[in-house]
Amino acid sequence: MSRLPLTFDPERSLPEQVGEWLDEAALTLACLPATGLRPAGARSTWPAYLCDLEDLGWERESDEFLPRPTAEQIDRLDVVLGWIPLIEDRQQKTVVHMRMIRHPISGENRWKWEQIGKRLGVSNHTAKARFDGACALIARRLPLPRGGLEKWRG
């Protein structure tokens, strides 16, 4: 998982950097552990047994999950999740949400641009344009003080 700096680079496009932060946040979400989420009272009455993976009829590329995110990545995730309410357009917000769903093992996006476009009844280019528009909107609405994002977070 790549690491992003804690500040935005003034030499680069801010909407592009917002897109990179959204992408990293999606991967961070996928890396968070998802164990112990069941209600404590839920139990199965089936007897315990061991399964052989070959009996399941499918193969996995790997049993390895992505590495757990660092505290710094979780901090950036918290910041990025605070940006989502800045998007008022429902379709832009839907595209951003769909692109933030990642597979916890491969890290691949669950929704490809073509699938998002089909789901929304638009072309894949329009879906991508809506994502880019959401990034531009977030970039315009970010209350960035001098010194970058680390001061904005505080």
Q: Report the number of distinct structural domains present in the chain.
A: 1
- The pair of three-digit structure tokens given for residue 13, joined into one six-digit string: 């496009």
pLDDT of residue 67: 79
Nearest to 124 by CA among 132, 114, 133: 114
Q: Is residue 55 part of a domain?
A: no
pLDDT of residue 6: 61
pLDDT of residue 12: 85
Q: Is residue 27 part of a domain?
A: yes
Rounded CA-CA distance 154/134 in Å is: 24
pLDDT of residue 43: 54
**Chain Cα centroid distance, residue 38:** 22
Q: Is residue 144 part of a domain?
A: yes
Q: Could you tell me the pTM of the whole model?
A: 0.72
Rounded CA-CA distance 120/97 in Å is: 13
Terminal C-alpha separation, the chain: 25
Q: Residue 70 has what DSSP assignment?
A: P
- The pair of three-digit structure tokens given for residue 101, joined into one six-digit string: 């769903």
In terms of phi and psi (left: phi > 0; alpha: psi -120 to 50; beta: otherwise), the region of 36 is left
Q: Is residue 105 part of a domain?
A: yes
Q: Is residue 6 part of a domain?
A: no
Look up tokens 């995110």; give the residue.
69
Q: Is residue 96 part of a domain?
A: yes
pLDDT of residue 36: 59
Cβ neighbours around 137 below 10 Å, total: 18
- The pair of three-digit structure tokens given for residue 64, joined into one six-digit string: 């390895």
- The pair of three-digit structure tokens given for residue 2, joined into one six-digit string: 């790549």
Q: Residue 36 has what DSSP assignment?
A: S
Per-residue pLDDT of the chain (154 residues; tens, 9 = 90+): 455 556 777 788 889 999 999 999 999 998 887 665 555 555 555 555 545 545 444 444 555 667 788 888 889 899 999 999 999 999 999 999 999 998 877 888 999 999 999 999 999 999 999 999 999 999 999 876 544 554 444 3
What pLDDT digit, counting tens, does each position of 72-107 carry?
888 989 999 999 999 999 999 999 999 999 887 788
Question: Domain of 149?
Answer: 14-32+66-153
Contact 74, 80 (CB under 8 A): no
Rounded CA-CA distance 144/150 in Å is: 9
